[in-house]
Amino acid sequence: MPVDPAIGGFLAGVAHLAAHSRSAYARDLRDLARYRAERGIASWGDVDADAVRGFLAERHRRGVGGRSLQRTLSAVRRFYRHLIEAGVARVNPAVGVRAPKAPRRLPHVLDADQAARLVGISATDLLAVRDRAMFELMYSSGLRVAELTGLDVPEIDLADAQVYVTGKGSKRRIVPVGRQAREAVSTWLGRRCELAAVGEQALFVNARGHRLSTRAVQLRIKRWALAQGIDSAVHPHVLRHSFASHLLESSGDLRAVQELLGHADIGTTQVYTHLDFQHLAKVYDAAHPRARRKRPA
């Protein structure tokens, strides 16, 4: 199916977006163009709210999940804002249309003992020292892996126990650094010169002396999880989830956790309250005399 000129013009206007976002928008809008053609809708301006609902319903019947449908609806709304500005449409038919809610998936977290085992690397070779510093810092400060790999040496202040982080949307925040993370990073900084290339500013560097990639961190954490005897799947974001869950469990301060994670919307942070409730529910079921217990078979 040839590219619709209206879709092409829209995609040209969002060239600043990430490649995967533009690709997803293109797929969604091509599907909408196909749906429109199959139903004989003459022009983009003739698409109404019922047509948008029908399009979403068709995709839902094909097995598309709630999260993808929400993204599709967002693409259609944005597309029609472009069409209205271009004079191709007068109204946005996607306004007021709601996509099915996506089921909330609770993030996987390590318990405190597992987290301590993962970051407690005892090896003293250079890469192990670097890896321990990375893992301690991620768990201590709740960093995203891209935030970790983006750090430069001047952005960590061990004297004041804080790190200056550039998060999503280039938003800056200051996050505390715990004692054990400071010790691990200090040890790494004492040996970093053995690995870092001349003039390299990255806090964490690879074996060639340049900034470490997010993929490299993923592979290192997976390797160390196996070596440290952790049998569950571990990826860098698990340390961020564990940081948030453990901090919320201890403090009960959702707003503070939101600020430390750099979440723009507290609703994103509230998923950790569900994790905390799961822990409470298990304690209740195990301890309360009126708790529902499974009967023996």
Q: Write out the catalytic residue numbers.
A: 144, 168, 237, 240, 263, 272
Unique residue bearing structure tokens 């259609």: 76
Q: What does the alpha-carbon distance between residue 83 and residue 10 come to, in Å, rounded to a whole number?
A: 8
Helix axes 19-38, 49-61, angle to 10 degrees: 110
Residue length, the chain?
297
Handedness of CA 200, 201, 206, 211 (dihedral sign): negative
Residue 125 Cα distances to 158, 188, 194, 213, angstroms: 22, 11, 11, 20
Chain centre to alpha carbon of residue 56: 25
* Beta carbons within 8 Å of 153's beta carbon, 6+ residues apart: 189, 192, 201, 202, 203
